[in-house]
Amino acid sequence: MPTALETLRQMVGINSFTGNRDGVNKLGRFTAERFSSLGFAAEFVPSVNPSYGDHLVLTRRGRTSKSIALVSHLDTVFPPEEEARNNFHWQPEGDRIYGPGTHDIKGGTAMMWLALEAIRTQAPKVFEDVTWKLFWNSSEETLSHDFSEVCRRRFDRETLAALVFESEGRLGNERLMVVARKGRGTWRVTVTGRGAHAGAKHRHGANAILQLAQTVQRIEALSDYSRDLTFNVATVSGGTVLNRVPHEAIAEGEFRAFKPEVYQQAKAALRALAGPGEVRSVADRYACDVKVEILSESRPWPRNPETDRLAALWQEAGKQLGIPVNVEERGGLSDGNLIWDAVPTLDGLGPWGDNDHCSERSADGSKLPEYVEVSSFVPKAALNTIAILTLIEQADRR
Residues that bind Zn ion (CB under 5 A): 104-105
Choose among 104, 63, 156, 87: nearest CA to 361: 87
Nearer to Zn ion, 167 or 190 (CB): 167
Nearer to Zn ion, 147 or 187 (CB): 147
Exposed (0-12), middle (13-18) or buried (19+): which is 80, by Cβ within 10 Å? middle
Name, in order, each residue with C-beta under 8 angstroms of 87's C-beta and a sequence gap of 6 or more.
none
Nearest approach, Cβ of residue 7 and Zn ion (Å): 18
Pairing status of strand 230-238 against strand 248-257: antiparallel
Nearest approach, Cβ of residue 382 and Zn ion (Å): 23
**What is the 8-class DSSP label of residue 229?**
B
Nearer to Zn ion, 67 or 138 (CB): 138
Taking CA atoms, 378 is separated from 113, 152, 319, 341, in Å, by 12, 31, 16, 30
Nearer to Zn ion, 142 or 223 (CB): 142
Nearer to Zn ion, 158 or 329 (CB): 329
Nearest approach, Cβ of residue 165 and Zn ion (Å): 9
Nearest approach, Cβ of residue 130 and Zn ion (Å): 25
Nearer to Zn ion, 104 or 370 (CB): 104
Tell me if residue 238 falls in helix, strand or coil: strand
**What is the 8-class DSSP label of residue 178?**
E
| Residue 228, φ and ψ in degrees, nearest 5 | 55, 35
Nearest approach, Cβ of residue 356 and Zn ion (Å): 7
Nearest approach, Cβ of residue 105 and Zn ion (Å): 4
d(Cα 116, Cα 248) in Å, to the nearest integer? Answer: 56
